[in-house]
Amino acid sequence: MDTEPSALLLELGAIVFALAIASRLARRVGIPAIPLYLLAGLAFGEGGLADLGAATGFIEAGAEIGIILMLLMLGLEYSSVELRTNLQRSAPSGLLDLVLNFPPGLLTGLVLGWDLLSAVLLGGATYISSSGVVAKLLADLERVGNRETPVVLTILVIEDLAMAIYLPVVAGVLFGGPAMATVLTVIGALIAVVAILYIAQHYGESLSRLAFSQSSETLLLTLLGITLVVAGLAERIQLSAAVGAFLVGIVLSGEAASEARGVLLPLRNLFAAVFFVFFGLEVDPGLIPGVALTAGLLAATTAGTKIVTGWVAAGQKGIGPRGRLRTGTALVARGEFSIVIGALGVQREADLGAFVAAYVLFLAIAGPILARYSDSLVRR
Amino acid sequence: MTEFVETPIPGLGVRYTMTTRSDRAVGVVIHHTGRRDLVVYDRADPDAAEASVELTEEEGRALGDLLGGSRIVERLSDLTHHIEGLVIEWIRIDDDAPVAGIALAEAEIRADTGASVVALVHGEDVVPAPGGDDRLTPGATAVVVGSTESVEAVRAILAPSASAS
């Protein structure tokens, strides 16, 4: 294999260009780009259409940064006050969401004969809707002002908060050694999460002022530096880098947060796309046909359970039948976070990667379509 | 009095909705970014936006003026949503207030109480951000911003009879 710099540039260029085409195609058809990025990754990977050599190192590091940036941006969307009030007001809907959407994945994993942890990972993948896809969907369909929209977003907020507890626990079990050490790791991780949420509540504003700068360049470097260091530290204490980044996002508020969204967005877009490609590379495309049917059935089931979740949650807020169906269908899409969770277990259970890839392919495409046409499913 | 229902939209902003006397639901979404959406709800499906018009902060304000809103009121109500522990009060200046008729600088309200007079309204005449020379004319209304205690202290100065009762 030719390892000249030119090979790196050519390979990276080819990948980014392929992603550009995928993104254009997705826009044209009106679906999210995530499934197409995944397909691109599958095509480039081992056993796929073209082999990558020189670019693998970059893609691996880029994927790691992609996860961190996705979670950082997610954290920036919410303030700690928002998280707390949402949790207080809508805990029942959040619980219903968990009870309906986690077990299907868990049980499927167990039935397939995977170990408990891999099954728990699949449960996480079926539980969490894609905030990215859903938020974009609501904006594209001009439903931001709709009465059911806060219900949809509240459920997403609670899911994201649940991720902040789920990821460190799973990561602790995944990388922990003996049982006792694992329990200690998990407890330590949870204490760290609570401590940071406390800091966010009380010192978030002054810390944000400290980090803020009028120069977008300075702000970008400051935030990226802080986030990578915190993510690295979090990873070191087995808290999972992603959660570290999410918590940094929560701590930042006000002007620093809104400016940060602007300067980080292009970076996030690039590296998140790299992450989806990386996941596609990790998955052996040969395994997909074997799991596609089961993944399809699970996708159909968990599309149903999300619709029920939304139907009930919106009903509690006094929303009419059409709005209730819109709430349910908006939640169907799974995407980036299902993949983040799936990526944790690829090394452990090869089928898990292929399964999650197929599952996300189904629901990242079906979810937006269902949401778009949900109004025509109910008579006026 | 028309009542708006206020609903926070997580990660996005706040939505205000009202139902008009002609039984149409309309609303405004105020995004954290300053963007405003003017929303008209569907007659048949009152949960869904029939039309949603994106406005910049400036366009929203201009439209508000046309519809008969006051910039000050809007600005101030904006403030209360962003800053916890901040109180805004409209206090009518009594004829028998010790500071009635004297200039703002001489009244030393901020030094004494910690609250600020951010506007003076006298009928149609509005002085936003009054300077030290502007007078506390009896009968005018002072818009006061500060903590609950400091605003109460200002009330005791500007409207001693109202605050005693």
CATH number, domain with residue B145: 3.30.70.1450
Residue range A76-268+297-377, CATH number? 1.20.1530.20
Domain-embedded: residue B121: yes
Q: What is the distance in angstroms between the Cα of B86 and the nearest Cα belonging to chain A? A: 16
Contact B52 A147 (CB under 8 A): no
List the domain range (segments joined by +) for residue B28.
5-66
B93 and B52 part of one domain: no
Write down the pTM of the prediction.
0.76
Quick one: pLDDT band at residue A58, thresholds 50, 70, 90? confident
pLDDT at position A379 is 59
Domain-embedded: residue B73: no
Residues with Cβ within 8 Å of residue A147, at least 6 apart in sequence: A317, A319, A323, B17, B41, B46, B47, B48
B45 and B109 part of one domain: no
Q: Sign of the CA dihedral A115, A116, A121, A123?
A: positive
Residues with Cβ within 8 Å of residue A100, at least 6 apart in sequence: A305, A306, A308, A309
Residue of higher predicted confidence among A328 and A79: A328
DSSP labels, A79-108: -HHHHHHHHHHHHHHHHHHHHHHHHHHHHH
Quick one: pLDDT band at residue A110, thresholds 50, 70, 90? very high
Nearest CA in chain A to B8: A150
pLDDT at position A208 is 85
pLDDT at position A49 is 56
Domain-embedded: residue B52: yes
The average pLDDT across A101-118 equals 94
Give pLDDT tens digits for B51-73: 899 998 888 888 888 887 655 55
Domain-embedded: residue B14: yes
**Pick from A77, A150, A320: CB nearest B45:** A320
Mean pLDDT of chain A: 87
The average pLDDT across B91-118 equals 85
The number of residues making up chain A comes to 380
B47 and B94 part of one domain: no
Number of domains in chain B: 2
pLDDT at position B121 is 85
Question: What is the rounded end-to-end Cα distance, in angstroms, of chain A?
Answer: 63
Cβ(B150)–Cβ(B102) below 8 Å? no
| ipTM higher than threshold 0.90 | no
**Pick from B32, B44, B48: CB nearest A146:** B48
Give pLDDT tens digits for A32-53: 888 999 888 888 776 555 667 7
Give pLDDT tens digits for A204-233: 888 888 888 888 899 999 999 999 999 998
Residue of higher predicted confidence among B86 and A273: A273
Domain-embedded: residue B72: no
pLDDT at position A314 is 94
pLDDT at position B164 is 52
pLDDT at position B165 is 45
Contact B47 A86 (CB under 8 A): no
Residue A375 forms contact with B (CB below 8 Å)? yes
Nearest CA in chain B to A315: B47
Contact A146 B8 (CB under 8 A): no
| pLDDT score of A1 more than 60 | no
| pLDDT score of B33 more than 50 | yes
Residue B35 CA to residue B57 CA, distance in Å, equals 6
B60 and B86 part of one domain: no
- The phi and psi torsions of B88 (rounded to 5 degrees) equal -120, 130
Residue A326 forms contact with B (CB below 8 Å)? yes
For residue B37, the chain A residues in CB contact (below 8 A) are 144-145
B122 and B86 part of one domain: yes
User: Closest Cα partner for A309 from A81, A102, A17?
Assistant: A102
Print burial letters for A133-151: b (CB count within 10 Å at least 16), e (below 16): bbbbbbeebbbbbbbbbbb
In three-state secondary structure terms, B92 is strand
Cβ(A348)–Cβ(A284) below 8 Å? no
Give the amino acid at B89: E
Contact A146 B17 (CB under 8 A): no
Residues with Cβ within 8 Å of residue B110, at least 6 apart in sequence: B116, B117
Residue A205 forms contact with B (CB below 8 Å)? no
In three-state secondary structure terms, B94 is coil
B45 and B95 part of one domain: no
Domain-embedded: residue B141: yes
Residue A122 CA to residue A295 CA, distance in Å, equals 11
Residue of higher predicted confidence among A303 and A239: A303
Domain-embedded: residue B58: yes
B84 and B139 part of one domain: yes
User: What share of residues in chain B are helix, strand, coil (percent, to 5)?
Assistant: 30, 35, 35
Q: What is the distance in angstroms between the Cα of B37 and the nearest Cα belonging to chain A? A: 7
B62 and B84 part of one domain: no
B58 and B33 part of one domain: yes
Mean pLDDT of chain B: 82
B14 and B87 part of one domain: no
The average pLDDT across B107-126 equals 84
Chain B residues whose C-beta sits inside 8 Å of any chain A C-beta: 7-12, 15, 17, 27, 29, 32-33, 37, 39, 41, 44-49, 52
Angle at A202 between CA A198 and CA A208, to 5 degrees: 105
| pLDDT score of A270 more than 90 | yes
Task: Kindly list the domain boundaries of chain A, sorted by start residue.
Answer: 76-268+297-377
Residue A379 CA to residue A330 CA, distance in Å, equals 18
